[in-house]
Amino acid sequence: MKLRTTLALAMLFCLVAAAPADAIVRGANSTDPDGLRTFVVRIESDLGEMCTGVLIDDDLILTAAHCLLARARYSVFGLDRRFQTIRREAIAAALHPTFEAGVPPRRQPGADIAVLRIDAPFGRQFRSMPLVPLARPMEGEDVTIAGFGTTAFGRRNSARVLRYTYLRLRGEIRMGNTVLMGSDSERNSERAGAGACQGDSGGPILRGDPGTYGLIGLVSWSSGATGETGRTACGGSTAITPIAPHLDWIAARSRELRAINGVNTSMPRPGTGRGSEWQDWAQ
């Protein structure tokens, strides 16, 4: 299906590092130089927002659409084999045409997915995640989640560390759109447990074991546990955008983004304002 008119072009910018921010709830640090760090990256805007993304080609990143809503400059950070940071700049992006900016996550009718192009490949130390058709995710299946986000809501100084943990899929739910829901296998969203938190949006949901991972979805949003009191958006359920229905769209947009030669600085940046209510990152 041809959706060329949905291609939104982001600008190339010179971005200074943002202030320290926040990582996955009940997660472990990723320390394998041949593991998650080879394809999981961090995305930051010059407004201080942060997300996670998945390297799907030498210079292409798959992430959540809501991560690119701000009229901002974006940089992408990878980790080399010594877990030292390598920085690249974003030059263009395509947001899924069904995604509606300004609509809260639980009422969002569209697919929370986007493809981002960077100005240069990260190099041979990195391996892109192949996008291939996989069997439909099943209720009760255990999966891996990875990201650079917070260990708890509002704990900004815990971010920018690549962590991972495990979730159990609870099945599909249709709110505004259809998402997969996952939660801690033991706590089942009733008490605070494993899951996504601030900054993990766009991070991978992986089937299988290290070395044989398959990408089945991306983190879209998270909620607090049903038995918890107080303001939080972490530790309960993790909402996941499945990628299988969008593989053709991703492939088409990837081809278009790769065909761009240089950056026209007169092009408008994508986004609708100063930040995203989805991330609630600054509070």
Residues 6 or more apart whose CB falls under 8 angstroms from that of 52 comprise 40, 41, 42, 43, 63, 146, 147, 148, 149, 199, 200, 201, 202, 203, 204, 219
Per-residue pLDDT at 125: 95
Location of structure tokens 């969002």: 108
On the question of pLDDT at 25 being above 70, the answer is: no
Percent of the chain with pLDDT over 70: 80
pLDDT band at 269 (very low <50, low <70, confident <90, very high): very low
**Interval 2-22 mean pLDDT:** 28
Q: Are 192 and 150 in contact (CB under 8 A)?
A: no
On the question of pLDDT at 97 being above 90, the answer is: yes
pLDDT digits (tens, 9 = 90+) for 49-78: 999 999 999 999 999 999 999 889 999 999
**Interval 80-97 mean pLDDT:** 96
Domains and CATH numbers, the chain: 7-12+36-128+245-258 (2.40.10.10), 142-244 (2.40.10.10)
Q: Are 37 and 162 in contact (CB under 8 A)?
A: yes
If you average pLDDT over every residue of the chain, what do you get? 82
pLDDT band at 20 (very low <50, low <70, confident <90, very high): very low
On the question of pLDDT at 280 being above 60, the answer is: no
pLDDT digits (tens, 9 = 90+) for 139-179: 999 999 999 998 877 777 888 999 999 999 998 888 778 89
Per-residue pLDDT at 24: 65
Per-residue pLDDT at 34: 96
Inter-residue long-range contacts of 176-179, CB under 8 Å, 24+ positions, other chains counted: 176/103, 176/105, 176/106, 176/107, 176/108, 176/109, 176/110, 177/98, 177/108, 177/109, 177/110, 177/111, 177/112, 178/242, 179/220, 179/239, 179/240, 179/241, 179/242
CA atoms within 13 A on the CB side of 238: 37
pLDDT digits (tens, 9 = 90+) for 108-138: 999 999 999 999 999 999 999 999 989 889 8
On the question of pLDDT at 39 being above 90, the answer is: yes
